[in-house]
Structure 1
Amino acid sequence: MEAIPLTSVLPEGFDSKLHKIHFAVWNQIKHPVDVLATNDEEWHKWNSWRSVHDDFNRKFIFSMAQDKTDATLWLFGGIWEVLARRPEPQAHSYTVALREDLMGPFIRRLWVRHRRVGRNSRQKMESVLPAMTVSSILKEPFIGDPFPGHDRINHSLADLQAVVSQARADWRIALESMKGVYVIHDKETGQRYVGSAYGDTGIWQRWATYATTLHGGNVGLKELLEQKGSENYRANMRFALLEYWSMRTDDEHVLERESYWKDVLHARSLGLNKN
């Protein structure tokens, strides 16, 4: 099937020479598509950042956020008007305003297909527009990763915070009425922490505590948080479920399985569990 050119959905009279494209990519801490989906204020800042050069030197910024798994897939993040420019490099030196009157209904709904050449994330739009196509248009604005299934969770603490902050119904319903044993691992070192949700506390409530406190009150995780700093910690600590049951499951069984997994994964001797 022939690809639909991006030009076909641009507004009448659109002048690409007035725009710079912002190809927002992973900054080693956060994925831009997560920021766009969950935090309007932070996404605003991503489009006001000046690097060493005055890259946003045109009237408009056509912003797009790269998908986490497909480097050729971009989610439209709006057209921003540059109202003022300050000379300070490596700072939020641009004053920008979202022009919702320009393609506003496509924000977080339009997926664009484009294979970026080189590392430059801020380019003249007319130079890349001919190669850009429409991948899909969502019925509803993108709000983050859908619940993948209990046995397919492998998400960072930053991902979890985004889900909790939105009170995502698909995630909450799947997890709030479940007890379980989970593992949190540091993807840099491989160290693991094994925990459980039991009693009246379902997995959703327990993980929401991590989203709020970062450490869930655990001594080993508190120490690691102090060592890493919050941004690195949020990006590198990943969550997965090892086992899960209904809330009718006896707490003793949950605790026995938690102890089993601590032994199997050496979470006490080589990991982050202190008990």
Structure 2
Amino acid sequence: MLTFATLLDLAGIARSSVRLLRHQDNRHPGHPSPYALWRDNRPRFEEYQATQGFGDALDLKAPIWASFVGVPGRETLFVGLYTAELIGALPEDRAHPITGGIEPAGSCNLYRLDPKPELSEYAGRLWIEWGKGYRAWIQRGDRVPKPIVELRRAFGEDPFPGFSALILNLSEIETIPASWWAALSSTRGIYLLSCPRTREQYVGMASGSDGFMGRWREYFATGHGGNIGLKSRDPSDYRVSILETVGSAATVNDMLALETRWKTKLLSREMGLNRN
């Protein structure tokens, strides 16, 4: 079985000198994921992984980091090797790479990270099986092997499937490709939220200037988007799909009529989460 450790051996890098880091930060809903940062803004991704919590210092103590990012479906993508040197506590306030807010001086450790040329040809192309221990995001390179699942010719993402075929989990919306984001942000219409845990449904309307994406990001950030029916449930990773799109000439009243029609069709007031 070919594993990531095998590649380290072939590159002449001691497994024990490497820490494997899988970045998938769920602490900042409504903001880009580490995967989205790596894909769309490499400098901000480098800033993100250069600061780490004080409590992780011992686990991170190794001369080389192998960085991975988690993507939708819990897949794991290799994005590069880095030499790692602990500088110390963050010396001054800076903009948080994900949220844009203030990351205070002294709140975390700062590392000096420099990309290594070894295995760079696999960055963005190599997918591994991380295993079930996703919470163990720091692991030793000489411990549990990481099987190689796929090596692609080049980094690439799936084309937009079309509005009628689109099915997403809310947790995935910050990592969708830019082309999907553009299509969903420029289109309005009626959508469906489904709770896989309770089997209940909610019919909603995306009428704002940011289209479907603007509305779905509200749910992702708050868990309910201000809706009474959703507030009454524990937060859930709702599944989203599109029932109907409308043209630019459609008025809010037009869309309200469509929304009502879909609520009636799906009985989402009688057996779902709609309250009106």
TM-score (norm 2): 0.63
Residue 150 of structure 1 is matched in structure 2 by: 163
- 1:194 equivalent to 2:204? Answer yes
CA distance in 2, matches of 1:206, 1:120: 37
The number of equivalent residue pairs is 244
Query: Hey, what does 1:86 align to over in structure 2?
Result: 88
* TM-aligned CA distance change 1:259 to 1:98, over 3 Å: farther
Do structure 1's residue 141 and structure 2's residue 155 form an aligned pair? yes
Q: Which runs of 5+ in 1 are unaligned?
A: none
Q: Is the 8 A contact 2:189 2:206 kept in 1?
A: yes
1:183 aligns with 2:192: yes
Residue 266 of structure 1: aligned partner: 269
Q: Deviations over 1:125-177 (max 9, x none)?
A: 1223xx3332222233255x6534434433355643444xx631x5645885x
Distance 1:180 1:262, change over 3 A: same
CA RMSD in angstroms comes to 4.7
2:77 & 2:50 partners in 1: Cα distance?
14
Specify whether residues 114 and 127 from structure 1 end up closer, same or farther in structure 2 by C-alpha distance, changes over 3 A only.
Answer: same
- The alignment-based identity, stated in percent, is 15
Which string of whole-angstrom CA distances, capped at 9 and with x for unpartnered residues, describes residues 236-261 of structure 1? 5653212347x499778755322222
Task: Specify which structure has the higher proportion of helix.
Answer: 1
Contact 2:185 2:212 (C-alpha < 8 Å) held by counterparts: no
Q: Identify the residue that residue 62 of structure 2 maps to in structure 1.
A: 58
For structure 2, the residue ranges without an aligned partner over 5 or more in a row are 91-105
Task: Map 1:211-250; keep pairs closer than 5 Å.
Answer: 214=218, 221=225, 236=237, 239-244=240-245, 247=247
> SS at the partner of 1:4?
coil
Question: Who is 2:12 aligned against?
Answer: 13
Do the aligned partners of 2:124 and 2:155 also contact (CA within 8 Å) in 1? yes
Q: Which residue of structure 2 aligns with residue 207 of structure 1?
A: 212
Q: Separation in 1 of the partners of 2:46 and 2:83?
A: 14
In the other structure, the counterpart of 2:2 is 4
How far off is 1:22 after superposition? 1.7
Scaled by the length of structure 1, the TM-score of the pair is: 0.63
Task: Check 1:223–1:26 CA distance in 2 against 1; reply closer, same or farther (3 A cut).
Answer: same
| Pairing partner for 2:52 from 36, 49, 54 | 49
Q: SS of 2:192's equivalent?
A: strand
Q: Verify the 8 A CA contact 2:87 2:112 in the aligned structure 1.
A: no
